[in-house]
Structure 1
Amino acid sequence: MIKRLKSKKGFTLVELIVTFALIGIIMIITTGVIASSIRVEYRVENLSNAQVVSRTILDTVISELAPATKRPLESGSDIAIRSQNGMTEFTDKNGIPVVLSVTDEGLLNLKYNTGDENVDWSYGKKSYMNNRIESLSFEKERENRVSVTLKLKNEKTGFEYTTKKIITFYNLEAINMDFR
């Protein structure tokens, strides 16, 4: 045993090649596992962010539209809610005409016409967590119910998320709506 330890022999070329080949195979397998884990992590993060953003946007839309009243709109129409060309026009609970739309940047915008001035309101771009609104559409379900469909797209990863909620109008018996 002592003779073996004092021996000056090293590793053969074949042993070194086999060792490096095994290390390479282990690294390839490990890289594949890590890469798939990172993809899953990005997908879960995008999904989580999209859910938070869509919940916030839909809650805002619902809180604005649900108490809408049947008063003449700014355009002089007696339709309680008009949605066309990407804009939804209604009268809020305080009797203020409101136009809900999506900006070119993909942000939700509410424009209040208080008579004296127009007030624009929207969430800041950072609150969208790299998402943008691709579409926001309304469809009449029943007399006092409308389904709202929101489609978001992540600007960095291209991940798309679509969600749908139902608005029940409690100030309107039968809604006179125009959705085009």
Structure 2
Amino acid sequence: MIAWQIQSLLMSYPDAQLLSRTPLLRRAAETLPVTIGAPLPRFLDHLDRTPLTELEADYVATFDHRKKFSPYLTYFAYGDTRKRGMALLRFKHAYRAAGLELDDSELPDHLSVVLEFAATGDPVQGQRLLVEHRAGLELMRLGLQEAGSPYAAVLASVSATLPPLRGHDREAIARLAAQGPPEEEVGLAPYMLEGTR
């Protein structure tokens, strides 16, 4: 799907090549259904009017320094626990089954990588991975929206490509918002304070 390709590029670290592609991305966005395409020009306008150094700094400040906006989808479901490693393997297996091999420069659950896979590898499996991590995606979208981040427009477009939220999806989002990602507790029992077990 062309929408996932555009979103993948927009969720990647900004560089001069991305900025040179904004006219093409704008034309491609115009071909999408309104619910998917309408948010994208807002972000493309932001790219056009913002110096590259500011875009780079904002990307790092947004996605690298604030875990609540983590672009790594498994973080929301598994935090930094050991279970996350198995979840990352599931992403790698899905890519390998579609004939794609990732290098070690990026984790397989980075949103831009998953969107690229959905666009050019296996749309069915790509959408499945996105839907499996819908609660985290929606939490990120709502957080970016609340923070007034331009990236909220891209996440709104991603969300519009997925099936409508159901009751259990909303419950999962509310639970994740209240509890946050899990924390590793294996091996920590001897260090827990009395009364916290």
TM-score, normalised via structure 1 length? 0.23
* Higher RCO, 1 vs 2 (CA within 8 Å, ≥6 residues apart): 2
Structure that is richer in helix per residue: 2
Higher strand share: 1
